[in-house]
Chain A
Amino acid sequence: MESATVSVGHGHADHHHGPPEANQSSRIDRQTLGILLFIVSEVMLFGAFFASYFFLRVVVDPASWPPEPYELPVAVAGMNTAILVSSSFTIHYALESIRRGNRAGLKLGLVATWLLGATFLFIQINEYVHLGFSARDLSFGSIFYSLTGLHGAHVFVGLLLLSFATIRAFRGHFGPKAEDHLGVEVPGIYWHFVDIMWIIVYVTVYIL
């Protein structure tokens, strides 16, 4: 028994070092599966915040929402929404470009997306400065800053991911084959998710 174990172990060591290869699905690559699972967990996180929002708005039931004398800058936030939605089009353009082998289009799309995302974040911070209420002002202030702040944090992370992808694009990484531009594909999926979440946050918090 002992000799058999030793001989198998010795033979194995001749050909392979380290742990065995991880099993991988033939339907989806591990990076895309990873971002899918991450997004599922993020949906649950946002779901918890939305549940708090609707609980405070419907169950606690204040006389008016937003409570007097607070007002939300619907038009400015609407313009910000348009900026973020357009950034989804630019990242899609970047990916379509690299799929066709157009590196200049990839760089242009990534830079445009980064600038639009940074503009969104800048306007969001500027909005916070001029709102006239803080997270300490009633449950309304708390949930408003929690929900929009949670989203803002996601935009910040998205900008970091886009920065890495843009630097790599300018260094000549990425190619037309699917496995050669996963470094843009995965941040692109994340960016679209952030965009979808903002559309829902905007309609829920500012419009309804």
Chain B
Amino acid sequence: MKFNEAAVFKWVVIVGVAAALVIVVTLLMRPLAGALFGLVLVIAGCVYGYRWTSQKRHELAAKK
């Protein structure tokens, strides 16, 4: 994935959908449940990001 406007726009959509889910959970249950769900999504995003960057590092190392 290149760092350009289109890539950042995808993140707007991803964060928007995640925020909508957190809002739904908060309204259906209570703020603490929404906050915990949001935290789970942030951790999942961090894990996904870490796996993506390590895969990219391996690709670059293989090219060298």
At the interface, is chain B mostly helix, strand, loop or mixed?
Answer: helix
Encode contact with B along A180-208: 1 for CB under 8 Å, 0 otherwise: 00000100110011011001101100011
B48 at the interface (CB under 8 A from A): no
| Inter-chain contact B9/A202, CB cutoff 8 Å | no
Cβ contact within 8 Å between A196 and B11: yes
- B14, closest chain A residue (CB): A196
A189 to B19, CA, bound (A): 20
Q: Are B5 and A207 in contact (CB under 8 A)?
A: no
Taking a contact as CB atoms under 8 Å apart, the answer to whether A32 and B3 are in contact is yes
Cβ contacts under 8 Å, B5 to chain A = 91-92, 95, 185, 188-189, 192
Among A56-70, those with CB < 8 Å from B are: none
Bound CA span A189–B2, Å: 13
Flag whether B54 is at the interface (Cβ < 8 A).
no
- A203 & B22 in contact (Cβ 8 Å cutoff): yes
Residue of B nearest to A33 (CB): B3
**Is the beta-carbon distance between B26 and A199 smaller than 8 angstroms?**
no
Complex Cα gap A189–B12 (Å): 10
Instruction: List which B5-30 residues lie within 8 A (CB) of chain A.
Output: 5-6, 8-9, 11-12, 15-16, 19, 22-23, 26
Instruction: Give bound CA distance, A189 to B3, whole Å.
Output: 9
Contact B4 A32 (CB under 8 A): yes
Given contacts A85-B16, A207-B23, 13 further A-B contacts (CB under 8 A): A95-B5, A185-B5, A188-B5, A189-B4, A189-B8, A192-B8, A193-B8, A195-B12, A196-B15, A199-B15, A199-B19, A203-B38, A208-B34
Q: Which residues of A contact B (CB under 8 A)?
A: 28, 32, 36, 85, 88, 91-92, 95, 178, 185, 188-189, 192-193, 195-196, 199-200, 202-203, 207-208
Please list 26 pairs of residues, one from A and one from B, whose beta carbons are closer than 8 Å in the complex, sorted by A's number: A28-B3, A36-B3, A88-B9, A92-B9, A178-B4, A185-B4, A189-B4, A189-B5, A189-B8, A192-B9, A192-B11, A192-B12, A195-B12, A196-B12, A196-B15, A199-B15, A199-B16, A200-B15, A203-B19, A203-B38, A207-B22, A207-B31, A208-B31, A208-B34, A208-B35, A208-B38
Which residues of B are interface residues toward A (Cβ below 8 A)? 2-6, 8-9, 11-12, 15-16, 19, 22-23, 26, 31, 34-35, 38
